[in-house]
Amino acid sequence: MNILLDILKEVWVLTNEMSPYLLLGFLLAGIMHEFLPSTLYTNHLGKNNFRSVFLSALFGVPLPLCSCGVIPTAMGLRREGASKGATVSFLIATPQTGVDSIIATYSLMGLPFAIIRPIAAFLTAILGGTLVNKVEAPSPLPLWGSAPKQNNQEGKNKTLPQRAIAESEQLVTEGKVGKSLEGAFSYAFVEMMEDIGKWLVIGLVIAGIITAAVPDSWFTAFQGNTLYSILFVLLFSIPMYLCATGSIPIALALMMKGLTPGAALVLLMAGPASNVASILIINKVLGRKTLAIYLFSIITGAIVFALGIDYLLPSEWFTAPLSYMQECCMEQPGWFSVLCTVLMLLLLANALSPKKLLGGHHHCHCHDCEENAQCSMEIKVNGMTCHHCAANAQKAIASVEGVTKATVSLDEGMAYVEGDFNAEDIRKAVESIGFEMEM
């Protein structure tokens, strides 16, 4: 019983430290999602050159996409014209960071980690994308049914900032700012909570168990040993699913047990960037050679930055938060932290509850479609784990020639499709972004 109370205490302390920053990070992520159109990305990633790789990494670092949601999003970018190198760059950079996880990293692990983490993700992504462009010959896009719709020439000729400004002006002119703000809050505190809430809770619980229940003697061999620490963390972080935010308390707990700051960075990089599911999908969709470069870049980047932290930078930059966390365990949290924690717990409860109180989505079924409109097909889509997965599946199906309406339900794992289309084209569309279809 004492061990359980100690674990709960550690989870409470970590949650109190993270909750204000997490709420801020989620809000910023929602604003980005609602006010930055996806077309800003697709129009600049098509060429097989360094610029597309660079921009892909630059776009990916702040995006709040989880490790599972980045796969269909990246495959969707690939289908819409992104080069293979740009796709791999996006796959490496995006899951490692995000505006929410960067802020959360600062809350628990300090400013140096919060700065180095996105820099490491950015440079590692450029390495992977550049190698793919050098090694892989340009290949045709995986089209199905009909080619992706092209944007008008006027939009193509605008620079990235010009397009962003134009989109914002259009929102104001059309009076859609209020609706967009509502969408930003819904995305931030409902959809994102549903997507990463479970993994955030798991990360906090694992961190509590490591801190309170795992003896220090288990990590004796790794204490102060950079090489052993790095190899140990790589061994379980490459295949295991970890979201960028959920990995933070685990990394902190491992440092408190004696692992080096460099090893903690390995977990923050390799854990979110790869897992068994993403490895299988990349191998299937992009090929074995691209998969090898993808894993090589992640492992190489993690090791290089880990060694740099442990041997080139002052250790007190990264160990100072450990003393602060130990002091926090002895102090009562402030009222603002407690208020944020209560709000965070309520949002998590809503996200993880089978009957959600907020943001309930109504999904079109055959019997409740518009009058005289009938769903031509109900399709089981396997592999969707978050709202980004469902959105990309719906987008892929809707782009198939002959489809007049497509609705995807994440909760049911089903797609409801109307129109005059070829079922095989639907299958190719679903499988091209890493999912499986059952008729």
* Residue 179 clears pLDDT 80, i.e. is over it: no
Q: What is the DSSP letter of 293?
A: H
Q: Tell me, what's the pLDDT at 10?
A: 87
Q: Which residue has the higher pLDDT, 286 or 123?
A: 123
Confidence label for 365 from pLDDT (cuts 50, 70 and 90): very low
Q: What is the pLDDT of residue 78?
A: 81
pLDDT at site 149: 45
Give me the pLDDT at residue 23, please.
92
Residue predicted with more confidence, 103 or 242? 103
Greater model confidence, 125 or 150:
125
**What per-residue confidence (pLDDT) applies to 175?**
56
Percent of the chain with pLDDT over 70: 80
Task: Yes or no: say if 10 and 214 are a contact pair by the CB < 8 Å rule.
Answer: no
Question: Is residue 312 over pLDDT 60?
Answer: yes
Is the predicted pLDDT of residue 382 greater than 80, yes or no? yes
User: What is the pLDDT at residue 114?
Assistant: 95
Specify whether the CB–CB gap between 438 and 382 falls below 8 A.
yes
Q: How much is the average pLDDT of 185-206?
A: 88
- Give me the helix-helix angle, 111-135 and 261-273, nearest 10°: 50
pLDDT of residue 438: 82
Cβ count within 10 A of residue 13:
22
Give the model's pLDDT for residue 116.
Answer: 96
Domains and CATH numbers, the chain: 2-347 (no CATH), 366-438 (3.30.70.100)
φ/ψ of 374, rounded to 5, equals -125, 140
Read off φ and ψ for residue 158, nearest 5 degrees. -80, 145
> Looking at per-residue confidence, does 270 or 284 come out higher?
270
Residue pair 59/87 in contact by the 8 Å Cβ criterion = no
Q: Distance from CA of residue 418 to its chain's centroid?
A: 31
Looking at residue 275, what is its pLDDT?
Answer: 85
Other beta carbons less than 10 A from residue 372's beta carbon? 5
Higher pLDDT, 90 or 362: 90
Split at pLDDT 50, 70, 90, the class of 93 is very high
- What are residue 419's DSSP bridge partners? 403
CA-to-CA distance for 146 and 432, rounded, in angstroms?
Answer: 14
Determine what percent of the chain is predicted with pLDDT higher than 90: 29
| Per-state percent for the chain, helix, strand, coil, to nearest 5 | 70, 5, 25
pLDDT at residue 17 greater than cutoff 60: yes
Predicted structure pTM score: 0.79
pLDDT of residue 298: 96
49-71 residue pLDDT tens? 899 899 999 989 998 877 777 88
Q: What is the pLDDT of residue 325?
A: 64
pLDDT digits (tens, 9 = 90+) for 152-164: 444 445 555 555 5
Residue type for position 369: C
Q: Where are the alpha helices (DSSP H) in 36-110?
A: 39-42, 50-60, 70-79, 84-96, 99-109
Phi, psi of 150 (to 5 degrees): -95, 145
The listed range with the strongest mean pLDDT (74-78, 221-225, 250-254) is 250-254
pLDDT in tens, 371-380: 444 446 888 9
List CB contacts of 14: < 8 A, sequence separation 6 or more. Answer: 108, 204, 207, 208, 249, 252
- Residue 88 has a pLDDT of 94
Around Cβ 152, how many Cβ atoms within 10 Å?
7
Structural tokens at position 306? 């880990």
For residue 139, give the amino acid letter: S
Tell me which range, 239-248, 324-333, 375-384, is most confidently predicted by mean pLDDT.
Answer: 239-248
174 exposure class (CB count in 10 Å sphere: 0-12, 13-18, 19+):
exposed
**pLDDT number for residue 370:** 45
The residue-averaged pLDDT of 117-122 equals 96
The 10s digit of each residue's pLDDT in 391-417 is: 888 888 988 888 888 999 888 889 999
Confidence of residue 77 (pLDDT cuts 50, 70, 90): confident
